Structure 1
Amino acid sequence: MPIHRVNLPELPDVDHFRNLDWIEAGNSAVLALGRDYGAGLTVPLHSHTRTQLWWARQGVVLVRTAHGRWLVPPGHALLIPAGVEHSTEMISDVRMHSIYFTPSLLRAERPMVMEITPLAGTLVDALVSVESETMSERREQLIMDLLLEEIALLHERPLGLPFPREQKLALLCRQFLEAPSATANIDQWADRLGLSRRTFTRMFRNETGVSFVTWRQQACIFASLPRLADGEPITNVALDAGYENVAAFTTMFRRMLGSAPSHYLKMYQGR
């Protein structure tokens, strides 16, 4: 099963949809891509006929769909199902390594952020590398088979933030991401929408699939990652997010991502 690979910097950035046409035109079952993006670059709404493993080898990426936002920090990848429309924004300079699979090889039911293991990262690097052009077909097949096995074992991380469709509630959610606060409460949001606490609570869960408190916790951590990646002091980020102290922020961060902010950054900034 030959793998088609290319480094997309050779293609023109001014016409992203021409690049998309190039991706879709590939006949190979697997397509491996490597590309660097500058901070602030946005990729307009589009979709693929393939399942995409979008690995932020370096940098932080924000991916938007109609139903949510997914933050992809260093050391993580977003699995994007075939046919799902999405746009992306580069929060920082980004080095992207992506593998596109035909749905018959890898199917995804929903977007999900997964922590990339050292083994998975090494396998993706091997497929994207230009030197891989000389790789034997057998070795290529073995690497791909192992990568598919490893993807099935990757841990999902709660870096997807569901967004409501109801416009007024969606506006409150967007405003919250611009100025997150761990002390925001249900009554404040219910009052702004002119709803009772009970009605608001029911509507929020129906729209997002999670409770307001869970969404608020996820959103605060979600909003903090780009700032941490930019090197801002953990204390400043924690206090700006409404936490009383760094310890409270660290506890929530550890609960969601499995490590303290300082350890997390040391682990992934060098990848």
Structure 2
Amino acid sequence: MRNIPVAEVDGLDRAVLAVGTDYPHDHLLPFHEHRRTQFLYAVTGVMQVETIDGTWTVPADRAVLIPPLTAHQVTMTGVTTRSLYIEPSAVPWFPSRCRVVDVSALLRELILDAVDMEPRYPDHGRDAVVIELLLHEIRNLTPLPLDVPLPADPGLRRLCDAFLREPDIHDPPARWATALSVSERTLGRMFRGGTGLSFTQWRQRACVLHSLRHLAAGVPVSRVATTLGYENPAAFTTAFGNLLGRPPTAYGPAAVRSPARSPRPPSTRVE
């Protein structure tokens, strides 16, 4: 199925619905939720998923797992998606919080194949086996550190939201402490309690993840590093690699695989 709102097919009696969607550049899906769990895969572009407790940056060839009834909004930058909407009863192991995962070549091909299935695929046969294998592969995916947790404290949350809009790797904790009328030590406790990260860890993660959409758009590493306040591209590349295990060039447009794929031909099976 392609470019169909999931609400139109949500009632189909199948455990998994596969939907492909093409979005305009810089498109915003405002806050909404789904009855089913969602496996949201970015074939191209970069997505940023936001919930009340964090943001998740999803580059091309990665996916985000969204639990059922989780209010979320998605900012799309040059994005084509393939989504699997899954009955919660079929995935009792699904995480209770959003999670970004890598997508293997096998899983990618299974997802692309599922989009071209008949919505009411037979309960038995090839398509049912593909769906079963899809769920098996998803269950065994390793989470990626592509999230920026956000605190519940209103004052600290406002400062975090402002930083995410204009990140600066040298933004001093003293400025945050002054804005909140607390000591730097108290600020550190607030960050650790509200996000699970120290201030320095949170600041660096926010900067690195902010860079992903610019790298995907082809902005040179040197310019991205300067914009974020790093002394030089080498310092940025080191911080980037420490978090993601790959250099910034691995997330540039040249590193993205082509999403082109011909629809599966109609079945010639004899009934």
TM range (shorter): 0.7 to 0.9
- SS of equivalent residue, structure 1 residue 240: helix
Question: 1:16 maps to what in 2?
Answer: none
Higher helix share: 1
Asked whether the equivalents of residues 63 and 88 of structure 1 are also in contact (C-alpha less than 8 Å), the reply is: yes
SS of equivalent residue, structure 1 residue 24 = coil
Query: In structure 2, what is the equivalent of residue 126 of structure 1?
Result: 113
Aligned equivalent of 2:51: 65
Q: How does 1:250-269 map to 2 (within 5 A)?
A: 250-265=237-252, 266-268=254-256
Kept in 1: contact 2:45–2:78 (CA 8 A):
yes
Q: 1:242 to 1:61 in 2, by over 3 A?
A: same
1:258 shift after superposition: 2.0
1:163 is displaced (CA, Å) by: 1.2
How far apart are the structure 1 equivalents of 2:234 and 2:9? Answer: 46
Could you list the structure 1 runs, at least 4 aligned residues long, displaced by more than 3 angstroms after superposition.
Answer: 130-137
Shift of 1:136: 9.1
8 Å contact kept, 1:52–1:98: yes
2:70 maps to which residue? 84
Q: Deviations over 1:84-104 (max 9, x none)?
A: 1111121x2211100111112
The question of whether the paired residues in 2 share the 8 Å contact of 1:46 and 1:86 is answered with yes
Task: Work out the CA distance in 1 between the residues paired with 2:74 and 2:96.
Answer: 20
Is the CA contact (8 Å cut-off) linking 2:27 and 2:75 kept in structure 1?
Answer: yes
Structure 1 position 32 matched with structure 2 position 18: yes
Matches within 5 A, 1:183-262: 183-262=170-249
Query: Gaps (5+ residues) in structure 2?
Result: 260-271
**Alignment partners' CA distance in 1, 2:202 and 2:191:** 9
User: 2:43·2:60 contact (CA, 8 Å) conserved in 1?
Assistant: yes
Question: Larger deviation: 62-71 or 259-268?
Answer: 259-268
For residue 95 of structure 1, give the secondary structure of its aligned residue in structure 2.
Answer: strand
CA–CA separation in structure 2 for the residues paired with 1:38 and 1:118: 26
1:53 aligns with 2:34: no
The aligned counterpart of 2:262 is none
CA contact (8 A) 1:24 1:48 kept: no
Correspondence 1:150-169 to 2 at 5 A: 150-169=137-156
Tell me which residue corresponds to 1:109: 96
Give the TM-score of the pair, scaled to structure 1: 0.88
3-state secondary structure, aligned to 1:84: coil
Task: Tell me if structure 2 keeps the 8 A contact 1:123–1:147.
Answer: yes
Report the secondary structure of 1:104's partner residue: helix
Whether the aligned pair in 2 keeps the contact of 1:157 and 1:256 (CA below 8 Å) is: no
Tell me by how many angstroms 1:257 deviates.
1.9
Which structure 1 segments of 5+ residues have no match?
1-5, 12-18
> In the alignment, what sits opposite 2:27?
41
How far did 1:165 drift? 2.1
Kept in 2, the 8 Å contact 1:70–1:160? The answer is yes
Q: Is the 8 A contact 2:14 2:120 kept in 1?
A: no
In structure 2, C-alpha distance between the alignment counterparts of 1:35 and 1:190, rounded to whole Å: 44
What is the SS of the residue equivalent to 1:28? coil
Q: Say whether the 8 Å CA contact 2:17–2:119 is kept in structure 1.
A: no
Matched residue, 1:22: 8
Q: Which residue of 1 aligns with 2:2?
A: 7
User: Percent identity, aligned pairs only?
Assistant: 38
Q: Which residue of 2 aligns with 1:14?
A: none
SS in 2 for 1:61: strand
CA distance in 2, matches of 1:126, 1:31: 12
Contact 1:65 1:84 in 2 (8 A): yes
Specify whether residues 161 and 243 from structure 1 end up closer, same or farther in structure 2 by C-alpha distance, changes over 3 A only: same
Q: Considering only aligned residues, what root-mean-square deviation do their CA atoms show, in Å? A: 2.0
Check whether the contact 1:76–1:115 (CA below 8 A) recurs between aligned residues. yes
